[in-house]
A and B are shown apart, each in its own frame.
Chain A
Amino acid sequence: MKRYIAKRLAMLIIVLIGVSMITFVLVRMAPGDPAVNLAGQHANEQVLESIREKYHLNDPLYTQYVIWAKMVLQGDLGTSIASHDSVFSEIMDRLPMTLELSIFSMTIAIAVGVLAGIVSAVRQYSKLDYSVMFGALFGVSMPVFWLGIMMIYIFSIKLGLTPVQGRIETGIYINKITGMYILDSILTLNWPAFASSVRHLILPSLALATIPMATIARMTRSSMLEVLRQDYIRTERAKGLSERAVIYKHAIKNALIPVVTVIGMNIGVLMGGAVLTETIFTLPGLGKYIYEAIMAYDYPVVQGFTLFFATAFVLINLATDILYAYIDPRIRYD
């Protein structure tokens, strides 16, 4: 096990170097001069040159990369060209928002998805099964941005149930501990804040959860079916109902294994979906941040963020794989 982890960590480093190099080159290949983006329409050449000096924009690519790599190893992810602020602090400012959205979405996706998958597997071929499968099919085929727009139209405009933007009602003050408002409001027993945060986050989380929810439901269902099929035969020979409870418990545990993997794989989907969801629901998170940085060719931000995200992604996948291997030692890893 330890060797496995060590090997994976080594690979992680290679992957990260690769990711950073590719991003570095890719972002610099873009047209446009970031110096002008920064200084605005009317800056004169002198101003532009000083910007270029400051950000080493005139140096050869290799040098720029090395300078950047050194910075990163010291914990500095760079300075945003647009805002003059540290990329790391800007990411940390917005991370709780996206994290909260992702966790909330994932929780909904897992809770509903697993439940639906199990129920439909157990009652295979019933009307319930077909409706769940039909719903799941819709879920994976749904364009997130369209769903979000429709949800706002129905729930906020027509029904007036939820607010149209933001994380929390302006004027409700909250003591920020983790930066995740729902959690913080629970921790500080601030119920108006809790209610407001949940109301603001429920629609975006539902929209974002749709695809993972559907995928998890389908996966749980087929996984359960497979396990049940095996055990069903054994059940024939078993005596009494009490066996069923054991089988269910056993079946669920086994069925959940591939689900764990799916969660890991879906982090990427969540991030991409976050860009769209945060845009539509006006949430100040990382998705919007990186989108705007990409569009404005804010190199340091794109590089810093990509590295940050890739690290998180690879670590999470490592964690799920370890979990996977732990749950089922039958699975060999070379």
Chain B
Amino acid sequence: MKNKGVAAVTIVLLMSVAMLAGCIGGDDDGTDEEPMRFIFACSSDAVRLDPADVTDGESIQRMDNLYEGLVMYKEGSTEIEPCLATDWTISADKTEITFNLREGVMFHDGTEMTADDVVYSFARQYDPDHPFHQYGEWAYWGYMFTDIEEMVKIDEYTVKLVMKTPNASMLTSLAMFTTAIISADAAEEYGDEFFKNPVGTGPFKFVEWVKDDHVTLEAFDDYWGGRAELDEIVFKVIPDVTTRLLALQNGEVHGVEYLDPSQLSIVEDDPDLTLVSEPGMNVGYIALNCGEGYVDANGNGKWDTGEDADVPGAFEPFEDIRVRQAIQHAINKDSIIENLYQGAATAAVQGMPPGLLGYNYNIEGFEYNPTLARQLLADAGYPNGFEITLYHMGSTSRPYFPVPEDIAQAIQTDLAAVGITANLFTEDWGTYLQDAEAGLAPMIMLGWSGDNGDPDNFLNVLYSQKTATIGTAGNYGFKKNQEVQDLLDAALLTYDLEERDELYQEANQLIVEEATHVFIAHSNQILGFNSSVKGFVAHPTTRMFFYNITIEE
């Protein structure tokens, strides 16, 4: 009895000491020794720290301050300016771009960046015989950079990019993470561990990565653009949205991403916090599967994907354009934006956000009109509506749908009001995307965040004919529109901005008329900061550039 008592008392004593010490030790030391450290709370951990081998925003974020490309974005915009390349010339036939590299740029490991590193960074992705190729999947290359034939070294500080066909969006794409320049020496030294030991030219260098907990970067003294004022950046992983905000309020972190819309007013009203809410370069939609994605090469009436549905007509209701229009009129977007996005979004009326080249300001979209919806349904032969499954991404918060479960339920309610019974279905994100690409979802909530600010990045992915096929899908409306495709193809071949603008505007008009996608919203990019953080400029692509920020006491 005594022993247990002693044990208990000891524990209580220890804890009290700890609490006390915590109260004292936890206070700000206030010494000048303390480095200027910026702590940013993220919603999940990075997957890998190799810029060419990732597709997820979290990994990319960690590397935005570590790696750079030949060109980079201007602050807060998707226009590009020189970075590791000082200038470039485009060949007459527009298939070659020759870059002059900046001299004297140092990597974090002390070696100088030269043409060899540039070639290495590209070749390891496209050349199956390259020694580094085996260490990665290079998924993003396969998607956006297949027009590149090769990257050639001309001399120590000159490289030439050779493309198979002219591609007007390639220059802006080169500012993306996929084509960031890595240190060839470091890659060879680390081999298959390179993804844990990043070495780049950016203003910050890698210190440590404690999985699921944090990634630490520190300022690179020899950065070619001048050492940053900030000493350290820590990316802290806090998956729960409430905990993130709490941590911000408590002073445990200086900045957070992905706030819940319901928390916006809390941040706005708090004098110690700053809310950043910028129009986002994204679109959230519901795709209505029109069933044309299925390949039936042998004409046996069954999809070649092996699924057991008959072709076509598996998602019958959507074959009739009136049904699609009905659904367009049934959704109360304004209510969703007001209540679920808390106003931090713009109602979407076309397939890409305003501000981009080619945005068609003449399109008004489908107004909220349940009566008209019912009428259209009746005309199409569904006076009593029908039953269908609506796919949503559950608790996986996306930039364009911050609260997917709530939004899905609101849509369900709206559809029920016009007689359509929508059964909600969700699964984990990876499988969700797979099922989407396999054409299994009759109605699916999805969206897209722009990667380079080019309209092609939206339209050619989401609404083209090529991507309306099972297996390489991106167009989950699965309707093949030749006119749209012709417009998109033409827009890539010309470098004339006015011409591209016209072509894309027309394409947008046609896409909206086709009504295969119910555009819901362009969600704002929402970030919360402690008011002591100065100098942050949000980037439309949601990449996190912290070079210019400082923390004031």
A residues in contact (CB < 8 Å) with B: 31-34, 36-47, 50-51, 82-85, 90, 93-94, 107-108, 111-112, 114-115, 118, 152, 156-157, 160-161, 163-167, 169-171, 191-192, 194-196, 198-199, 202, 248, 252, 279-280, 282, 284-285, 288-289, 295-297
CB distance from B546 to the nearest CB of A (A): 16
- Assess the B18–A41 pair: CB atoms within 8 A: no
A-B contact pairs, 11 of them (CB 8 A): A33-B434, A42-B139, A44-B142, A44-B143, A85-B211, A157-B246, A163-B252, A166-B213, A170-B253, A196-B22, A296-B430
Q: Which residue of B lies closest to A163 (CB)?
A: B252
Contacting residue for B138 out of A37, A41, A47, A248, CB 8 A: A47
Docked complex Cα distance between A43 and B472 (Å): 8
- Assess the A85–B139 pair: CB atoms within 8 A: no
Contacting residue for B5 out of A44, A115, A156, A194, CB 8 A: A115
Q: Which residue of B lies closest to A81 (CB)?
A: B430
Stretch binding the partner chain, chosen from B98-106, B233-241, B343-351: B233-241
Contacts of A46 in B (CB 8 A): 142
B416: Cβ under 8 A from any A Cβ: no
Contacts A42-B140, A169-B26 given; indicate if A84 touches B431 (C-beta within 8 A). Answer: no
- Assess the B137–A164 pair: CB atoms within 8 A: no
Q: Which B residues from 29 to 80 make CB contacts under 8 A with A?
A: 34, 37, 39, 47-48, 55-56
Contacts of B429 in A (CB 8 A): 296
**Secondary structure of the A contact surface, majority rule:** helix
B8: Cβ under 8 A from any A Cβ: yes
B250: Cβ under 8 A from any A Cβ: yes
- Assess the A196–B25 pair: CB atoms within 8 A: yes
Contacts A40-B56, A94-B212, A195-B18 given; indicate if A111 touches B11 (C-beta within 8 A). Answer: yes
CB distance from A42 to the nearest CB of B (A): 4
- Assess the A47–B196 pair: CB atoms within 8 A: no
Q: Which residue of B lies closest to A280 (CB)?
A: B240
B474: Cβ under 8 A from any A Cβ: yes
* Residue among B213, B428, B437 with max Cβ neighbours from chain A (10 Å): B213
- Assess the B25–A40 pair: CB atoms within 8 A: no
CB distance from A83 to the nearest CB of B (A): 6
- Assess the B11–A170 pair: CB atoms within 8 A: no
Q: Which residue of B lies closest to A161 (CB)?
A: B19
B214: Cβ under 8 A from any A Cβ: yes
Contacting residue for B237 out of A83, A198, A284, CB 8 A: A284
Q: Which B residues from 413 to 432 make CB contacts under 8 A with A?
A: 427-431
Contacts of B471 in A (CB 8 A): 45
B297: Cβ under 8 A from any A Cβ: no
Docked complex Cα distance between A202 and B11 (Å): 12
CB distance from A89 to the nearest CB of B (A): 9
In the complex, number of A-B residue pairs with CB atoms less than 8 Å apart: 173
Docked complex Cα distance between A114 and B1 (Å): 10
- Assess the A42–B431 pair: CB atoms within 8 A: no
Q: Which residue of A lies closest to B11 (CB)?
A: A111
B210: Cβ under 8 A from any A Cβ: yes
* Residue among B5, B19, B430, B437 with max Cβ neighbours from chain A (10 Å): B430
B7: Cβ under 8 A from any A Cβ: yes
B510: Cβ under 8 A from any A Cβ: no
Contacting residue for A90 out of B1, B18, B211, B214, CB 8 A: B211
- Assess the A118–B21 pair: CB atoms within 8 A: no
CB distance from B47 to the nearest CB of A (A): 6
- Assess the B26–A111 pair: CB atoms within 8 A: no
* Residue among B210, B212, B471 with max Cβ neighbours from chain A (10 Å): B212
B527: Cβ under 8 A from any A Cβ: no
Contacting residue for B211 out of A93, A111, A165, A297, CB 8 A: A93
CB distance from A242 to the nearest CB of B (A): 15
B305: Cβ under 8 A from any A Cβ: no
Contacts A194-B21, A282-B237 given; indicate if A107 touches B142 (C-beta within 8 A). Answer: no
Docked complex Cα distance between A285 and B237 (Å): 12
B401: Cβ under 8 A from any A Cβ: no
Contacts of B20 in A (CB 8 A): 195
- Assess the B26–A83 pair: CB atoms within 8 A: no
Contacts of B431 in A (CB 8 A): 31-32, 37, 297
Contacts of A280 in B (CB 8 A): 240
- Assess the A279–B7 pair: CB atoms within 8 A: no
Docked complex Cα distance between A194 and B195 (Å): 32
- Assess the A164–B246 pair: CB atoms within 8 A: yes
Contacts A165-B247, A199-B19 given; indicate if A118 touches B1 (C-beta within 8 A). Answer: yes
Contacts of B437 in A (CB 8 A): 36, 41
Question: What sequence of 0s and 1s flags, for each residue 1-27 of chain B, a beta carbon within 8 Å of any chain A beta carbon?
Answer: 100110110010011001111100110
Question: What sequence of 0s and 1s flags, for each residue 247-272 of chain B, a beta carbon within 8 Å of any chain A beta carbon?
Answer: 10010110000000000000000000
Q: Which residue of A lies closest to B50 (CB)?
A: A84
- Assess the B240–A195 pair: CB atoms within 8 A: no
B433: Cβ under 8 A from any A Cβ: yes
Q: Which residue of A lies closest to B14 (CB)?
A: A198
Docked complex Cα distance between A191 and B26 (Å): 11
Contacting residue for B250 out of A36, A51, A90, A164, CB 8 A: A164
Contacts of A90 in B (CB 8 A): 211
B384: Cβ under 8 A from any A Cβ: no
Contacts of B247 in A (CB 8 A): 163-165
Contacts of B138 in A (CB 8 A): 47
CB distance from B342 to the nearest CB of A (A): 21
Q: Which B residues from 455 to 484 make CB contacts under 8 A with A?
A: 461, 471-472, 474
B86: Cβ under 8 A from any A Cβ: no
B335: Cβ under 8 A from any A Cβ: no
Contacts of A199 in B (CB 8 A): 18-19, 22, 26
Contacts A42-B140, A165-B252 given; indicate if A36 touches B433 (C-beta within 8 A). Answer: yes
- Assess the A107–B11 pair: CB atoms within 8 A: yes
Docked complex Cα distance between A156 and B471 (Å): 48
Q: Which residue of A lies closest to B55 (CB)?
A: A40
Contacts A36-B430, A50-B137, A284-B210 given; indicate if A43 touches B142 (C-beta within 8 A). Answer: yes
Docked complex Cα distance between A42 and B55 (Å): 9
Contacting residue for B21 out of A42, A157, A191, CB 8 A: A191
B89: Cβ under 8 A from any A Cβ: no
Q: Which residue of A lies closest to B236 (CB)?
A: A170
Docked complex Cα distance between A107 and B21 (Å): 22
CB distance from A95 to the nearest CB of B (A): 12
Contacts of A285 in B (CB 8 A): 212
CB distance from B23 to the nearest CB of A (A): 8
Q: Which residue of B lies closest to A169 (CB)?
A: B26
CB distance from A159 to the nearest CB of B (A): 12
* Other contacts beyond A115-B5, A195-B25, A282-B238: 9, CB < 8 A: A40-B55, A111-B7, A115-B4, A167-B213, A169-B252, A192-B26, A195-B20, A284-B237, A296-B429
- Assess the A170–B252 pair: CB atoms within 8 A: yes
Q: Which B residues from 209 to 249 make CB contacts under 8 A with A?
A: 210-214, 234, 236-240, 243, 246-247
Contacts A47-B137, A165-B252, A282-B238 given; indicate if A112 touches B22 (C-beta within 8 A). Answer: no
Docked complex Cα distance between A160 and B251 (Å): 12
CB distance from B261 to the nearest CB of A (A): 20
Contacts of A297 in B (CB 8 A): 428, 430-431
